[in-house]
């Protein structure tokens, strides 16, 4: 049962590590210009009014992704070591850190809920 969850957490760690690279639809400025990742934000003309906003957003996604990936690795350690309370705490942290991007990333919330429904020990 936890083997599949472990694989999903491993995939989530990989995915969140690259949030700012793979991106998702995000719009900026009064004209709602789509800037789908950090590379696209950096490529905007320096005169674009919303360039800094877009770059800041994607930099925050990169930082949040790195933090959730680190917490995800702690969840993996807990799952593999049988410390399900530690795994739950780490998954909860991932879910919390993802909140500002939840509508787009939607990586950790479903995993946390799946863990909670599968784990009878927490």
User: What does the pLDDT read at residue 118?
Assistant: 84
Look at residue 114 and tell me whether its pLDDT is greater than 80.
yes
Look at residue 28 and tell me whether its pLDDT is greater than 90.
yes
User: What does the pLDDT read at residue 122?
Assistant: 57
pLDDT single digits (tens) 1-26: 578 999 999 999 999 999 999 999 99
Q: 89 near 115, Cβ under 8 Å?
A: no
Mean pLDDT, the chain, whole residue set: 94
């Amino acid at each position: 049962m936890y083997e599949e969850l472990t694989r999903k957490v491993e995939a989530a760690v990989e995915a969140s590590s690259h949030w700012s690279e793979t991106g998702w639809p995000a719009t900026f400025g009064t004209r709602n210009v789509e800037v789908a990742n950090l590379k696209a934000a950096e490529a905007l003309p320096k005169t674009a009014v919303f360039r800094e906003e877009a770059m800041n957003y994607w930099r925050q996604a990169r930082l949040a992704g790195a933090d959730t990936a680190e917490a995800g690795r702690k969840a993996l350690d807990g799952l593999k070591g049988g410390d399900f309370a530690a795994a739950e705490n780490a998954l909860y942290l991932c879910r919390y850190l993802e909140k500002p991007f939840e509508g787009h990333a939607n990586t950790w919330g479903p995993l946390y809920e799946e863990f909670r429904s599968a784990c009878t020990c927490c």
